[in-house]
Structure 1
């Protein structure tokens, strides 16, 4: 039962949307008023996923076990409040179902994310991570990401504090 990594297509939008909702809710859902969580997730429409999957400015990765999605990563153009030194890309999401955490799959995904960023000519890879998500921060730090600032991430009307992180490629 080994995981496969592949580049998804627009046809995978429903699977990615479901993964995002499941992973985000499992990891962070307890932090928010249900209305804020619903507002955030409702903004991640299927049409939005389809549009981004079709847009060459974005790069996606889908992890599957036995043909069923268990995780995904999404990279996209500059949106965070950072000042890149040159060509850059952002890791917007990297999510993995709890059943796959600790399996080594996240590392395989991150290796592919970094390779994709380099292949696209990026000199820097940026991301934001929730300040209390210590496990994720340690994961990114193992790859050489460094904290460069603070970012306010909105979930409905709730403001979270995220660390901005940068990896020189």
Structure 2
């Protein structure tokens, strides 16, 4: 059974673990160990996650399957992308589901919860960056009505990578 819940400060260690696990599952085969280690150290420590959960401009939701954390989404509630003129914007900053649940409804449930959160806050635009080579993710986001509006460089360790910017209006 899939359950979505809001992360609390006490979840910081779990968030750090699932964050690193899913990031490595998604990108480890395409990047050097050094770049992966550098990125994970800078982004997935327990203290870092405590700060992100406590940040009033962020919302972190967990996806649980059989009472285990199976993924998460972090939404930056105050993140403007320059190509969108309206200031009512949110960014889906991170969106990850464990690999063994891909295609089993967990990602759909989590995305629906993320979009519902944004809508409830009367935010009119949501955007995200996705690696140009992650075709499965791009197709998934497009099923939810996201459309490409730009691109930017995402630095993974020492490797500059091209992210496609996708956008959805409510």
Q: Shorter-normalised TM-score: what interval?
A: over 0.9
Residue deviations 1:29-70 (CA, integer Å, cap 9, x gap): 112121111110000122111011011210111011232111
Summarize the Cα distance change of 1:47–1:30 in structure 2 as closer, same or farther, 3 Å threshold.
Answer: same
Contact 2:80 2:90 in 1 (8 A): no
Deviations 1:122-159 (A, max 9, x none): 10001000101111001110111000111101111111
Q: For residues 118 and 108 of structure 1, do their structure 2 counterparts lie closer, same or farther at Cα, with a shift above 3 Å needed?
A: same
Mind listing any 5+ residue stretches in structure 1 that lack a counterpart? Answer: none
Aligned residues: 168
Structure 1 stretches of at least 4 aligned residues deviating more than 6 Å after TM superposition: none
Distance 2:149 2:127 in 1: 10
- Which residue in 2 is equivalent to 1:143? 144
Partner of 2:46: 46
- Equivalent residue number for residue 161 of structure 2: 160
Change (3 A) 1:149 1:34: same
Structure 1-normalised TM-score? 0.94
Partner of 1:30: 29
Further displaced range: 77-86 or 90-99: 77-86
> Residues 98 and 156 from structure 1, CA distance in 2 versus in 1: closer, same or farther, beyond 3 angstroms?
same
- SS state of the match for residue 160, structure 2? strand
Structure 2 unaligned segments of length 5 or more: list them.
Answer: none
Q: Cα RMSD over matched residues?
A: 1.3
